[in-house]
Structures are given as structure tokens and as C-alpha cells.
Amino acid sequence: MRMKTAQILMECLLEQGVDTVFGYPGGTILNVYDEFELHGYKNKVRHILTAHEQGASHAADGYARSTGKVGVCFSTSGPGATNLTTGIATAYYDSSPVVFITCNVSENLIGKDSFQEVDITGISMPITKCNYLVRDPEALADVMREAFAIARSGRPGPVLIDIAKNVTAAEADYTPLPLEQHASQGRLGAMLRRASHDLKTPEPDAGDIQTLLDLIETARMPLVLVGGGVIRSKGAVPEFRRFVERLGAPVASTIMGGGALPGSHPLFTGMIGMHGSHASNYAVDQCDLLIAIGCRFSDRVATDPATFARGAKIVHIDIDRAEIDKNVRTDHHIIGDARRVLELLNERLPQHAYPTWKEWVFSHSEVPLKRDDILHPHEILETVQDVTDGDAIIVTDVGQHQMWCAQYYHFSRPGQFITSGGFGTMGFGLGAAMGAAVGNPGKVVVHCTGDGCFRMNCHELCTEEHYGIPVITVIFNNRTLGMVRQWQNLIYKKRFSQTDLDRGPDFIKLAEAYGIPGERAADQAQFEAAFRRAVACGTSYVIECAIDKDAMVHPMVSAGTPVTDFILD
């Protein structure tokens, strides 16, 4: 059938099962937005109008991470498109599947420095899996289908589609195509096969599987390191847990691996790396076999690559061949989807135990936590855990509060911990929390943030209030850029340059200005009472927690040094 290309775009979203779009309109994308009213797509696809394009990008990302679906974000050209770039990079570094749809100026104006023209495909090329500039109306449907396939396939990630404005006003032929038929459709199937080398994930090599089984058989002190790849791989977590139970070895996690194994599990040693637990960091230093699954060995994990797991055979399991030997040299690797690799291992892995090794690892307990009249970060997270029975979705910004969440909240499932682990995006949390709440109605969503991070995108409170999105924002307010101050304290000899946040706003008055209730808490009892009220009310809520300006994340390893060289115990 013949229809306007803007309508074809909307029909393609419905083919993909899209129920929610986050976005912000502007001149070049108006033909698309007109379809919400002209043909009633507002009754089929919910549109969330954010206060800023960056908020929309993070919301689509949070929706994707918490649901496992592909998130969708709309924006206009020029500054609207460039405002998405931080969100695109955030999704890219954490392998989050989001399709960003922008519209550019008309074809006859491209390349002429026209009003609000920008080469967003060129700008976003290094931070997307794939991107497109659509000039042919007849190609749009297949481009849309291909983009979604690429975003969710292999190692997931963001894809950007930029459409010339005149294309959205044109007409083209459209034939409805159910999602399950996309890969087999002639021209589309060929496009999908050409588009990305990882659309068809390779079957793990049987010899590589056997080599790892042989290494396990001879190991006496193995350690498993789980990363975000296990979280992103559909169905991998149950297989991972079966693998861990059979192996019976200690398990450490990167920040992105949170939820792959319950935090309360007796084999779990905690986070590894710069702010890793003593048990995890000492274990990786002394193990004789390290099995790393779906992680990048970033500089926050392998703080000194030359000494990381210095006495171990290192085995790296990853879907992306480019990650192998990129940061840490390995002795063996297996290329494949984490779920499939673990399935094959579980078919042949006998039961193991390693009691002496585990006793040594878990003897490295942490320093007892403080309990006194002031409010400590761990008390905030313990209270959230207790009041919600550990079922809340935790979304963070970046900094000390992010590390405290990773350390003190016991995540039990994938998609429960949403954070910017790779790009480290301050201002990510509020938008991502909105996306998580929209995608998970009925779940308690807690946005943990610092006073510095919250200032960056706090205007999205108006979006929460308008759409009735129930996010509880907990501000760890130490009146400073806490993580930067911690580095200045420990490494820069207390030269506190430009980190004090001795200024407004009054966060509770700010929340009230947006029509959202708020409270302050100075001790654990006050916080628990406020948090219980926030959960009971079922709407957006802001709780400001007064914490010590010099509260620090313990432990800490300095960048570039071995993971056992703690400068802060």
C-alpha cells in the first residue's frame, strides 16, 4: 500500500512491538510527530515528552536496560541531535540497545550550513553500532527493520537513523511484515546479513570449550569474574548460576555484572577493582585460573594490567572478538554468546568444591561498618533493601553514591542495577530511572544520586510529575563533588580545588516547585520513616540525605597500581 513515509516509520515501530518513545520535537521531525495526531498513533505508542533531549536519551536507555527490549528516542536536527550524543555514548559503552531516530534538514539543504543542520551520522559514528542517513523514501522501512535487528543482535548497542525532512513528507510503498519474518524476507534478509558481522553469533568452538574444562580440572584456586555481558545475554543468568554452583569457586563482579549472582550468595566476593572488596582483589591476585565472562577488563577493574591475575591462567569468554587481549593478555579465549558457552560448559562440567581456597578468600573480610548518630551511606542502602525486600530497581548517577550502591545493595536479578559503568555519565540517573519506571510498572524504582549529579538533569522532575512516573530520588548530599574530593584528599594532599558545592538550590523547595513532595533526613531513623512514606505514596518523591562531607568509598586502589595496593582500607 502507498502511504506517507512518516506513517511508514510509525508502522515499523509497531512491527517491532514498540510501546513507548521518549523524545522532543522540532522543525525537521514535525512530519513524524504529526502522525501521532493525524492517524492516531498516540493511542498505540506512548510518547514521553522530556525536558531535554539528553533526558530522553537516558530514559530510552534505562527502559532498554530494565526491560531487555529495544529503547526508542526521537529528536530533531542540529542541537536537538547533538544533545543526544552523551546518551548515545552512554548506551554504547554499556552495550544497551537503543534506536535513536533524528530528522535532518531537507536534501537540498544538506551540506550548506543550513539552519539547525548537523552531520549527526558523522558525529555519532564512533559511538554507534551502525547509523544511517535516509535519502530514499522507499528504503525507510527496511532501514528501520535492519536498525532494530542490529541494535538487539550480538553484542547489543545503539543505532542511529537520520532522515532528511523531505523524505518524511514523501510517499512510498509499504507492506506490513511481521517481526518473525524479517530475517527471511528477500531484500531485507540480504541487508540484514550484510549489515553487521555479529548478527549471526558464532557457535562456540568445541575444542575451546574442552580446553577450558581441562584447565578447570587442573586448577586449585579458580576465580570467576562476571561482567555485563552475562546481564545483556538473554537467558545467560540461569546458565551462569548453574555454572557457578557446579564449579563451586568464588565469584567476583564488575560493576556492570551486578545481579548476575545474588549479592547474598555464599560464593559472591563482591565487586572487583579500584573500589573492589578485599576478598575479590586478593582472590584475583592469588588465583591460578581466572575465568572472565562478558567483561572488558577496563582500567577500573584491571588497575594495573601487567600485574592483574599475575599468577593465573586467564580465560576470557566474550561475544566480541575485539575485546580479546585488548586490555589484558589472555591464555585462552572462547568467542560466543555467554548463554551458549555456559550451556556447553554445564553439559560436561563435574561438581567441584575448593574448600581450602574459599576459606582463604573469604577470610579477607571488610572493616566493620560504622553505627552512630549521623547518617552513613551504607545505612541508606540497607534501609532501601529492607523496606523493599531487596526488590527495588536501583538507578544511579556516577560517583561515590554509585560505588556505595554497588557495594551495599544486594542485587538479585538482571536489570535491577542500572548505572553508567563505561562512560561514567553524571546526570544519567534521573532520565534512566524514568525509563525503568515506565518499563516496569508496579516496581519500586529508586534513583540514587549525589548533589552534584542531581543538579545536571534535575529539570526532568517536571517529566516525572506530569506523567505520574513514580521514581523515588535519594540525594546523597555531602555538599561537594564527593569522588573528586576523595581523590584530592588522598592523592592531591587535600588541595580541594573547585569541588565544594556551597550553593543552591534547596532541593526540597525545588521538588515542591515541580509539584513533588520532598523530605530531609539527618539520621537513619529519619531516612527510614521518609522512605517508607515515599514507597507508600506511590508517586515521585525526593529525599535529601545529609552525609559527611569527607565520607569515602572504602576500599580504594590508586589508578595504575596493583589491585592489592590499597591506599584506603
pLDDT digits (tens, 9 = 90+) for 272-305: 999 999 999 999 999 999 999 999 999 999 999 9
Residues 161 and 263 in one domain: no
Distance separating alpha carbons of residues 451 and 342, to the nearest angstrom = 41
Task: Indicate which residue of 3, 69, 116, 526 is catalytic.
Answer: 116
Task: Indicate which residue of 10, 256, 271, 483 is catalytic.
Answer: 483
Distance separating alpha carbons of residues 97 and 153, to the nearest angstrom = 9
Q: Which residues contact 357 (CB under 8 A, 6 or more apart)?
A: 220, 221, 222, 249, 250
Our answer to whether residue 53 is catalytic in this structure is: yes
Q: At what angle do helices 140-152 and 5-15 cross, to 10 degrees?
A: 30
**CA dihedral angle for residue 255, residue 256, residue 260, residue 261, rounded to 10 degrees:** 0
Q: Residue 564 domain-assigned?
A: no
What's the rounded mean pLDDT across residues 373-382? 94
% of residues, the chain, pLDDT over 70: 97
Our answer to whether residue 498 is catalytic in this structure is: no
What's the rounded mean pLDDT across residues 497-507? 94
If DSSP codes are grouped into helix, strand and coil, which group holds residue 66?
helix
Domain boundary, last residue among 338, 362, 386: 362
Q: Residue 309 domain-assigned?
A: yes
Question: How far out from the chain centre does Cα 365 lie?
Answer: 29
Our answer to whether residue 343 is catalytic in this structure is: no
Task: Indicate which residue of 115, 245, 366, 370 is catalytic.
Answer: 115
Write out the three cell numbers for 552. 569515602
* pLDDT at 459 (0 to 100): 97
Domain boundary, last residue among 169, 195, 221: 195
Q: Residue 201 domain-assigned?
A: no
Which of 412, 390, 418 is CA-nearest to residue 64?
418
The CATH number linked to 450 is 3.40.50.970
* pLDDT at 178 (0 to 100): 87
Distance separating alpha carbons of residues 172 and 142, to the nearest angstrom = 12
Containing 12, the helix (H) or strand (E) segment is helix 5-15
Residue 86 clears pLDDT 90, i.e. is over it: yes
Amino acid at 99: V
Domain boundary, last residue among 148, 166, 195: 195
Q: Residue 568 domain-assigned?
A: no
* pLDDT at 198 (0 to 100): 47
What's the rounded mean pLDDT across residues 89-96? 98
Our answer to whether residue 165 is catalytic in this structure is: yes
pTM as predicted: 0.95
Residues 510 and 453 in one domain: yes
Would the CA dihedral through 16, 446, 430, 119 be positive or negative? negative
What's the rounded mean pLDDT across residues 336-341? 97
What's the rounded mean pLDDT across residues 108-112? 87
Q: Per-residue pLDDT tens for 420-441?
A: 999 999 999 999 999 999 999 9
Task: Indicate which residue of 4, 165, 313, 358 is catalytic.
Answer: 165
What's the rounded mean pLDDT across residues 313-341? 96
The CATH number linked to 274 is 3.40.50.1220
Separation in Å, CA 450 to CA 55, 241, 456, 477, 501: 17, 33, 10, 6, 11
Separation in Å, CA 554 to CA 275, 400, 447, 522, 568: 7, 10, 22, 22, 6
Which of 161, 138, 139, 164 is CA-nearest to residue 151?
161
* pLDDT at 368 (0 to 100): 72
Residues 393 and 508 in one domain: yes
**CA dihedral angle for residue 121, residue 127, residue 128, residue 131, rounded to 10 degrees:** 10
Task: Indicate which residue of 15, 53, 323, 544 is catalytic.
Answer: 53
The rounded mean pLDDT for the chain is: 95
Check if the beta carbon of residue 222 is closer than 8 Å to that of residue 251.
no
Q: Residue 566 domain-assigned?
A: no
Q: State the CB neighbour count (10 A cutoff) for residue 567.
A: 11
* pLDDT at 20 (0 to 100): 98
Would the CA dihedral through 567, 252, 447, 90 be positive or negative? positive
What's the rounded mean pLDDT across residues 45-59? 98
Omega cis (within 30) before 25? no
Phi–psi pair at 126, nearest 5 degrees: -75, -10
Domain that holds residue 431: 377-557
Which of 451, 424, 426 is CA-nearest to residue 510?
451
Q: State the CB neighbour count (10 A cutoff) for residue 536.
A: 9
Q: Residue 19 domain-assigned?
A: yes
Identify the band that residue 25 occupies on the pLDDT scale cut at 50, 70 and 90.
Answer: very high
Check if the beta carbon of residue 461 is closer than 8 Å to that of residue 434.
no
* pLDDT at 193 (0 to 100): 58
Q: DSSP states of 442-496 as a string?
A: TS-EEEEEEHHHHHHHGGGHHHHHHHT--EEEEEEE-SB-HHHHHHHHHTSTT--
* pLDDT at 9 (0 to 100): 98
Q: Residue 372 domain-assigned?
A: no
Distance separating alpha carbons of residues 177 and 179, to the nearest angstrom = 6
Distance separating alpha carbons of residues 305 and 321, to the nearest angstrom = 19
In the chain, how many domains are there? 3
Which of 108, 213, 219, 214 is CA-nearest to residue 169?
108
Which of 382, 543, 394, 425 is CA-nearest to residue 477?
543
Q: Residue 524 domain-assigned?
A: yes
Residues 391 and 463 in one domain: yes
* pLDDT at 197 (0 to 100): 46
Residue 181 clears pLDDT 90, i.e. is over it: no
Residue 314 clears pLDDT 70, i.e. is over it: yes
Would the CA dihedral through 110, 116, 119, 121 be positive or negative? negative
Look at the block and give the residue holding cell 577488563. Answer: 297
Residues 268 and 325 in one domain: yes
Q: Which residues contact 477 (CB under 8 A, 6 or more apart)?
A: 450, 451, 507, 544, 545, 546, 547
Residues 159 and 78 in one domain: yes
* pLDDT at 196 (0 to 100): 43
Separation in Å, CA 131 to CA 31, 85, 98, 452: 21, 13, 12, 33
Residues 176 and 274 in one domain: no
* pLDDT at 371 (0 to 100): 79
What's the rounded mean pLDDT across residues 475-499? 95
What's the rounded mean pLDDT across residues 372-389? 94
What's the rounded mean pLDDT across residues 232-236? 94
Distance separating alpha carbons of residues 235 and 393, to the nearest angstrom = 19
